[in-house]
Amino acid sequence: MSGTSQGEGGPLRLRPPHHQVDRRAVAWWRTELLLLWAVPTLVLVVLAVFLPARFWLLLPAAVLTVVLVPVAIGLPLWWYRVHRWEVTAEAVYTRTGAVWQEWRVAPMSRIQTVDTKRGPLEQYFGLATVTVTTASSKGAVQIPGLDHELAADLVQQLTETTHATPGDAT
């Protein structure tokens, strides 16, 4: 039982997890979003050079730029402020999201698999995403944007802890 829910005081809330993700995650997210903007914009601009209907190609390119570039600059900072994680002896605890924030807890005794995933961009920035799954089809907990060596240690640690914790995970 936890003592925190007892006693008097202000309203209850979930405290932020202890650790922030790696600072390089901002650059990673920004690059991803900028690629999302650059690829269609580039195609439109290149077509506009060769095709006569210039205006109708440059207009969507301009709209994309006006909408996506500020998002690509601002959103990763917001994500970086929100994304936090923590591993205790009993559980993995994360906070993710921006407009919709999400707090997730997966207890050690229910963890089934621990994986890391590194896309090409993540490899370039030296980052990794750790995914912890439970027996629930909806219960996976993800920690993106960790330093890849830290992620490897974390996976090692989680695997050892979950092996030591009894229970059939359902």
Partner 1 sequence: MTVPDVDWKQLDRRTVIVSSLSAAGVCVAAGVPAGIGFGGGTSPGLAVAIIVPVALVIIAAVAVGDYVRWRKTRYRVLADRVQLNKGIVVRSRRSLSRERIRSVDLTAGPLLRYFGLVNVKIGTGEQTEAGTSSLMLNPVTKEEAERLRTELLDREPVAESPGHRTGLLAQIDLRWIRFAPMSFLTPTLGVAAFGAVLQASEWFGLQQGVISWTIDLMSELHLVVAILVLIAVGMIVGVIGSSALFVEMWWQFRLEREPGGTLRVRRGLLTSRSISLEEKRLRGVELVEPLGNRLVGAARIDAVATGLVQQKDNENSDHKTLLPAAPKDEVDRVAADVLREEVSPTSSVRLAGHPVAARGRRIRWGLASAAAVVMPLLVLGWVLSVQVLLHLAWISAVVLVPVSVVLAIDAYRNLGHGITGDYLVARSGSVRRGTVALQRRGVIGLTARQSIFQRRKGLITLTATTAAGAGAYSVHDVGESEGLAFADTAVPDLFGPFLERR
Q: Is 11 exposed, middle or buried (0-12, 13-18, 19+ CB in 10 A)?
A: exposed
Tell me whether residue 111 or residue 146 sits nearer to partner 1 (CB atom).
Answer: 111
**CA separation (Å) from 9 to 6, 82, 91?**
9, 25, 26
Q: How far is the CB of 141 from partner 1 (least distance, A)?
A: 8
Q: Is 120 exposed, middle or buried (0-12, 13-18, 19+ CB in 10 A)?
A: exposed
Q: How far is the CB of 114 from partner 1 (least distance, A)?
A: 14
Between β-strands 141-147 and 84-87, what pairing exists: parallel, antiparallel or unpaired?
Answer: unpaired
With beta carbons less than 8 A apart as the criterion, state whether 14 and 4 touch. Answer: no
Q: For residue 117, give the DSSP letter.
A: E
The residue range among 10-18, 37-45, 147-155, 158-166 that interacts with partner 1, by the rule CB under 8 A, is 10-18
Q: How far is 141 from 114, CA to CA, in rounded Å?
A: 10
Which residue(s) pair with 84 in the sheet?
20, 95
Q: How far is the CB of 134 from partner 1 (least distance, A)?
A: 5
Tell me whether residue 41 or residue 134 sits nearer to partner 1 (CB atom).
Answer: 134
Residue bearing tokens 């195609």: 43
Tell me whether residue 65 or residue 109 sits nearer to partner 1 (CB atom).
Answer: 109
Q: How far is the CB of 116 from partner 1 (least distance, A)?
A: 20
- With binding defined as CB under 8 A, does residue 166 bind partner 1? no
Tell me whether residue 66 or residue 137 sits nearer to partner 1 (CB atom).
Answer: 137
Query: Residues 86 to 115: which contact partner 1 by CB under 8 A?
Result: 86, 88, 90-91, 93, 97, 99-107, 110
- With binding defined as CB under 8 A, does residue 58 bind partner 1? no
Q: Return the SS3 of 90.
A: coil
Residues within the interface to partner 1 (CB under 8 A): 1-2, 4-5, 7, 9-15, 17, 86, 88, 90-91, 93, 97, 99-107, 110, 134-139, 141, 169-170
